[in-house]
Amino acid sequence: MITLRGLTKRFGPTTAVDDLTLDIGPGQVTGFLGPNGAGKSTTMRMVLGLDRPTAGRALVDGRPYRELRHPLYQVGALLDATGIHPARSGRAHLTATARSNGVPARRVDEVLDLVGLDGRAVAKPGRALSLGMAQRLGIAAALLGDPPVLLLDEPVNGLDPDGVRWIRRFTRDLADEGRTVLLSSHLMSEMQQTADRVVVLGRGRLIADAPLAELIAAGPATAVRVRAPEPAALTALHDRLAAEGATVTTDGDALTVTGSSAARIGDLAYEVGVRVHELSPVAASLEEAFLELTADSVEYAAGRTGGGSR
C-alpha cells in the first residue's frame, strides 16, 4: 500500500507536486499518467526517499521509506534502467544489490529467470547492455526482495513487441498475486491493456483517480464510422443525422458520427437509400480521455499543424 497525504515538492519557485493525496492499493495495476513535467517521477522519488517532501507525507505500508529496516523486501523500484555501473556486469550488479539488503545469493538466478535474461546477457558490462536488456535487469533488481510494493517508471522503454507484451502480462500477474503495482508510462494503448485503475497528474495536481473503464467512459463520446461506395450519396445521410442532433464529420467516402447509435444510422441509411460498406463503432480510448483531461495541463504545446502535444 502506498499512501500520499498532502504531498508537496517545490524546487525554488517551481511546484513540482502540489498537495497530492492518494491511496494506491494492492491487487491491481495502477497506471500513473500525466504530461511531461506533471510530477510523476518526482512523486515516485519522494515515495522512495530520494527527494524529501516540502510538505506532506509519502508512506509505504504506513511508514516512510527511510524508516524501512529492509527496504528491498518491502518495495522494489525501477526508475532509471541505465542506473548501472558501466563496467560492472549485470550479474555483479544484482549480486551486490542482493548482498547490500541481506537477500540470499540464490535469489539472483531466480529473478534472472523471471525476467528472461540468460547467463550471456548478464555477463556483459553495463555499457554493453541494450536498453531492453537494461530494463529487464532493472526489473530483476526490483524483484530481488520479493516485495509486495513495486514502482515501475516507463518499464517498456526500449523493449521490442515481445518484451512489451511480457511486461503487460508480468505486471498483471504481480497484481493478481496481491501486490501493489504503480506503473508509469506514456504509451496510452499499452496502459489501456494493463491498468485496472488510472491516476492522472497535471502540473503537479491530481486531475483524476478512477477505474480505467470509468475514466474512458467519461471521455469523449464514442463515435461510429460510416463508409459508402458512393461518397456523394452520403450527403443525404449526413443531413438526416444532423437534423436529429448528431455531430457528423466527412472524410472522403466516410462519415464519423457522434450522438447516434450504429443501429439508428443503419436504419437512416436504409431510409435514404444509401448503400453502406462499413458501419462500425469507434471504441473510446484512454488516449482520448487523457488528452481531454490534460488539455489545460500540457507544459509544452505544439502548434495546431503539429497535431498534438509533447
Domain annotation for the chain: domains and CATH numbers? 2-210 (3.40.50.300), 223-282 (3.30.70.100)
Tens digits of residue pLDDT in 180-231: 999 998 888 888 989 999 999 999 999 999 999 888 877 776 788 999 988 8
Q: How confident is the model at residue 79 (pLDDT cuts 50, 70, 90)?
A: very high
At 225, give phi and psi (nearest 5°): -100, 130
Beta pairing class for 14-24 and 28-33? unpaired
Tell the residue number behind the cell numbers 489501456, with chain if given.
Answer: 192
- What grid cell was written down for 100? 547490500
Q: In this model, does residue 310 exceed pLDDT 70? A: no
What angle, 0 to 180 degrees and rounded to 10, lies between the N-to-C axes of helices 90-100 and 131-143?
20
Question: CA-to-CA distance for 276 and 236, rounded, in angstroms?
Answer: 13
**Mean pLDDT, range 96-125, rounded to an integer:** 89
* Residue 302 DSSP symbol: P
Widest pairwise Cα distance in the chain? 75
**Mean pLDDT, range 16-26, rounded to an integer:** 96
Q: How confident is the model at residue 92 (pLDDT cuts 50, 70, 90)?
A: very high
Helix (H, G, I), strand (E, B) or coil at 10: strand
pTM: 0.79
State residue 141's pLDDT score.
93
Question: Which one, of 308, 310, 299, 309, lies nearest residue 38 by Cα?
Answer: 299
Instruction: Please report which residue ranges of the chain form alpha helices under DSSP H.
Output: 40-47, 71-74, 90-100, 106-115, 119-122, 131-143, 161-176, 188-194, 212-217, 234-243, 262-272, 286-293
